[in-house]
Structure 1
């Protein structure tokens, strides 16, 4: 019996349900990672080519061997639709874990099911997140354009840390600001007072990647 199910992914490239690969030609590859159902019927999931026909469990296990040392936390007080985008980016940059603070339910649409391949932890409030981070010796780095924030572009992020993001509009809560080891701002040069929360999260995570990730050379 298959351990995998096809994921109801929305694609933005015009290919619709034909994204991915069809049934694997015979002979089938052998080994634990492969799912017989996917080999037989094709793999239309939103996964990298190297994971085609693998079970979800096998993909997660492989990702666990090389996850990065930063965590991503998002405050979820208003059911912000941007959380899905933050989760998708956290998967792309292979965050250690994702932490949802506040409401347990969040809008998964923008995640495009990438949350299935991440470890997602829930904290009922910022105080609980803070206690967990302290026990793990992880400084919390808030990302928000607040008075007194230090420019992200001139800051060296800690290798082991929690990047904490507020929701769209109000940004980080007052409690989150108090508990953060520091708050970093993102330089802006136009007329808008803020950028999309999902975009801000991507910029902050990539700042960590530029500093610490083992980026392969161009092919």
Structure 2
């Protein structure tokens, strides 16, 4: 569903989008490439994620977000501890190949979950891995070790929509 932005203020567009928001959130922890963070914000907007948590002080590239950051609920946390306190009680699913307990295809997606993505070099921090209810991997073929984080986030959100969003079947 597309909301026409013609003649509406940013606040009015955000108000129109609020009841359409999906039942998942995205958290990006210390991603080093500002373009990747911006691309994830843009993709999260396309799936109307409930909110986007940015953990750490790394900047994002607004041009990569294509202006979508102004319509999103972006919540910044200086570190893992403040993020974990803010999402206490929510189901956390880390996306991390090296520490995966199961694949994307096997993992249930409970209501209100938060998908966590780590930095391109270091993945998720040990503190976040311990806090995750599940850690999943996206199946890969070939010799490459990992997907670019922005691509992985897009695949995860697409699978969430395929399973959970009745609008995806329309």
Tell whether the 8 Å contact from 1:76 to 1:106 is kept in structure 2 after alignment: no
The reply to whether residue 143 of structure 1 matches residue 95 of structure 2 is: yes
Structure 2 equivalent of residue 125 of structure 1: 79
Cα displacement string for residues 128-168 of structure 1 (whole angstroms, at most 9, x for unaligned residues): 1111111xx21111111024431011212112111110121
Corresponding pairs, count: 169
Cα RMSD for the two superposed structures: 1.8
Cα displacement string for residues 26-80 of structure 1 (whole angstroms, at most 9, x for unaligned residues): xxxxxxxxxxxxxxxxxxxxxx562223221111000001111111110126354
1:65 is paired with a residue whose SS is helix
Query: Greater helix percent: which structure?
Result: 2
Structure 1 equivalent of residue 152 of structure 2: 200
Residues in 1 aligned to 2:140 and 2:117: alpha-carbon distance in whole angstroms: 17
1:82 is paired with a residue whose SS is helix
1:177 is paired with a residue whose SS is helix
Q: Which has the higher contact order (CA 8 A, sep 6+)?
A: 2
Question: Which segments of 5 or more consecutive residues in structure 1 lack a partner in the other structure?
Answer: 1-47
Cα displacement string for residues 154-185 of structure 1 (whole angstroms, at most 9, x for unaligned residues): 21211211111012122112221111111110
Q: Could you tell which deviates more after superposition, 87-96 or 201-210?
A: 201-210
- Which residue among 170, 181, 184 is the counterpart of 2:122? 170
| TM-score, with length taken from structure 1 | 0.72
Distance 1:58 1:108, change over 3 A: same
1:1-219 equivalence runs, <5 A: 50-76=4-30, 78=32, 80-103=34-57, 105-134=59-88, 137-215=89-167
Hey, which bits of structure 1, 4+ residues long, moved more than 4 A?
A: none
